[in-house]
Structure formats: structure tokens, C-alpha cells
Amino acid sequence: MDLSKIVEKINQRPNMATKMGMVFHSTPEPDTCGASMRVDESSRQPMGYLSGGASLALAETLAGAGSAALCPDKVCVGIQVSGSHVRAVPDGDTVNALARIVHQGSTLHVWNVDLTDGCGRLISTAHVTNYILPSSTESSQQP
């Protein structure tokens, strides 16, 4: 999935993704997309490990970027995210995320996102649901 246009939008102004150092990656498969994030002061909890909330933020943001790439003329918003964390990731390591869309409806997208550490070991798995809305231009044209 090509994320290049979405990455341009993300980088237009400061936001959570840029603040946390999320880097988005296009993939050759049409139903997947990827991202990475270094574990540092913006993503670690006080004990020096990746925060579970940062993991879920990466998963939800990546799934949102994927939905936006699939529906470039729509507004895609997360309405549900849940995850299970199975391994700690220390400060200084990099987390990699691979999202795969499992349902692509006209108003709902469902994604499974696997997060791995720098050694490729599973650290979290997340489930994200995005709601697909008409753009403000689209909705203003409806009677």
C-alpha cells in the first residue's frame, strides 16, 4: 500500500505522529502498511520501557493512515482500539508495526496490527476499527 500522499499530509504540521517520531512505510501488498517508532522519552513509561499507550497510539495511527490511503477523499477516524502486550521493549530499541486490513467496508475498516521489537519478536497485537466519513466538501454537497 502506498502511503506517500498520507505521509505528506502527516508531515504538513506538528501532530502526535511527528511528536512521537512515527515513521510510515509503504508496502508492496495492497492490504498492508507499516510504521516504526524509536522507544525514547516520548514513548516510554517511567520504568524505561515502551508504554502500552504508545504502542496503541502507533497501531491506531498506522491503521488510520492505511484507511486514509484506501479512501483519499474521505475522513477516517478511529472508533475502537484494543491490544495485548506480550513483551517489554527497552528504551533505545525500535518498534516496528505491520497493519493488515481485515474488513474494508464503505463506512467501517477493521485492521489487525502486529508490533515487533528490533529483533523481530512480537511485543503487541492490536485491533483497530476506523469509521469512514464523507469529506467536508462531500457532505456540504448533499441535499
The per-residue pLDDT for range 45-98, each reduced to its tens digit, is 999 999 999 999 999 999 999 999 999 999 999 999 999 999 999 999 999 999
So what's the pLDDT on residue 94? 98
For the entire predicted model, the pTM comes to 0.94
- Residue 137 banded pLDDT, cuts 50, 70, 90: low
Pick from 141, 123, 142: which is nearest to 58 by CA?
123
So what's the pLDDT on residue 141? 53
Choose the weakest-confidence range: 4-8, 114-118, 138-142: 138-142
β-pair partners for 18: none
- Is 60 annotated as catalytic? yes
Q: In what order do the strands lie in the sheet with 32-38?
A: 23-25, 32-38, 94-104, 108-116, 122-134, 74-85
Catalytic residue chosen out of the listed positions 8, 29, 41, 60: 60
Mean pLDDT of the chain: 95
As a whole number, mean pLDDT of residues 105-125 equals 98
